[in-house]
Amino acid sequence: MKKLKVGIIGAGYIGGVHAALLAKDERVSVAMVHDVAVERAEQLAHSTGASIASSAEDLIGGVDALYITTPNTKHTAIALAAIDAGKSVFCEKPMATSIEDARTVLEAAARSGAVFQVGHNRRFAPVYATLKEMLRESGPAHSAHVKMNRGELINPAWVGDPAITGGFLYETTIHMFDMMRFLFGEIRGIDAVGSSHEYPETDDFSVLLRFDSGMHGTLASSADASWLFPFERVEVFCHHATITSREMESISYSEGLDGRHSTRSMQQLSREEKWGYAQEDRAFVDSIVDGAAVAVTALDGFKSVELVDACYQAVQTGERTHLN
């Protein structure tokens, strides 16, 4: 069987995670890596057996599909070049760091015959897949409280520089904007308050969300919260029932009025399975090799960027942002 030649642009933390997972897939050869920091490319090339590409263009020319795992503001240009060359693309979140760039990528991906998948890995995490299934059985949800914190904006070094991240919401909280769409459907309106404390950018947010379904919810997101467990949590309330998640570790369910509850733990899974990285990489290859439907589309990537942008607008103007 001819193997799918995959390249990795950005040989840092998450590039390494994807490369190691892809190297275990018999359908794939991790063929090329490129990084502006040559020693990082060398390290990843050494651990995967890939060759080193001297530029993004060389890599795009030498593979069937590529992973874009560079810092956030470097995604769009590489994505557009790869789409133009007819290559399949796995683009880490955020798909872009502005509405304009997100729309350009969306339109290019729509014209392309190749696969384009966005790295919203949490959709594949068993905790959230289970939560979605529970909502199908017990829902619809009435309201929810979502929390996504970061301990700091220090590590990796670029994560505190909005010129590279697009801002904290683009770097971190975008996962939860995508997750809320995945679990509860489209968001119609956003009210938000933000403030700045430890970092030059807005680093604490309180958000009120209205969904098309009539459901409503709150989101709290702090970039200077320490790393107290769980830094990420979803609480859903409906019909005398509560469902709560604890990061990607466990999910609890309580129904009725007697306080009984049950908890399903994901602790036996590997980190790559728990966080959905293994499943999203398999899904990407399935779409290319078997023609399976793309699991997280460019439109999903666009919508998550749109929600982040709407949230920043609501903070800046003090007005509700309406989405179509």
Residues found near ligand NAD in the complex (CB under 6 A): 9-15, 34-37, 40, 56, 69-72, 74, 92-93, 119, 121, 156, 171
Question: To the nearest whole angstrom, how small is the minimum distance from the Cβ of residue 319 to ligand NAD?
Answer: 29
Q: Which residue in 306, 66, 70 sits closest to 180, CA to CA?
A: 306
- Residue entry with tokens 């040559």: 38
Question: To the nearest whole angstrom, how small is the minimum distance from the Cβ of residue 78 to ligand NAD?
Answer: 7
d(CA 235, CA 148): 12
Please state the φ and ψ torsions of residue 189, each to the nearest 5 degrees. Answer: -150, 145
Nearer to ligand NAD, 32 or 141 (CB): 32
Nearer to ligand NAD, 126 or 140 (CB): 126
Q: What amino acid is encoded at 287 in this protein?
A: S
Question: To the nearest whole angstrom, how small is the minimum distance from the Cβ of residue 205 to ligand NAD?
Answer: 18
Nearer to ligand NAD, 40 or 233 (CB): 40
What is 27-60 written as a DSSP string? TEEEEEEE-SSHHHHHHHHHHHTPEEPSSHHHHH
Q: Dihedral, CA atoms, 96, 97, 99, 104, nearest 10 degrees?
A: -30
Peptide bond into 162 cis (omega under 30): no
Question: To the nearest whole angstrom, how small is the minimum distance from the Cβ of residue 54 to ligand NAD?
Answer: 11
- According to DSSP, the residues that pair with 29 across neighbouring strands are 5
Question: To the nearest whole angstrom, how small is the minimum distance from the Cβ of residue 18 to ligand NAD?
Answer: 9
Nearer to ligand NAD, 165 or 321 (CB): 165
Q: Which residue in 102, 271, 274 sits closest to 177, CA to CA?
A: 102
- The conformational region for residue 239 under phi > 0 = left, psi -120 to 50 = alpha, else beta, is left
Nearer to ligand NAD, 35 or 64 (CB): 35
Nearer to ligand NAD, 69 or 297 (CB): 69
Q: Which residue is nearest to ligand NAD (CB)?
A: 12
Task: Provide the 8-state DSSP code for 170.
Answer: I
Nearer to ligand NAD, 154 or 193 (CB): 154
Question: To the nearest whole angstrom, how small is the minimum distance from the Cβ of residue 261 to ligand NAD?
Answer: 29
Question: To the nearest whole angstrom, how small is the minimum distance from the Cβ of residue 69 to ligand NAD?
Answer: 5
Nearer to ligand NAD, 81 or 141 (CB): 81
Q: Where are the alpha helices (DSSP H) in 55-204?
A: 56-62, 75-84, 99-111, 126-138, 162-165, 168, 174-184
User: What is the distance of C-alpha 119 from the center of its chain?
Assistant: 5
Question: To the nearest whole angstrom, how small is the minimum distance from the Cβ of residue 63 to ligand NAD?
Answer: 14
Q: Which residue in 151, 201, 172 sits closest to 94, CA to CA?
A: 172
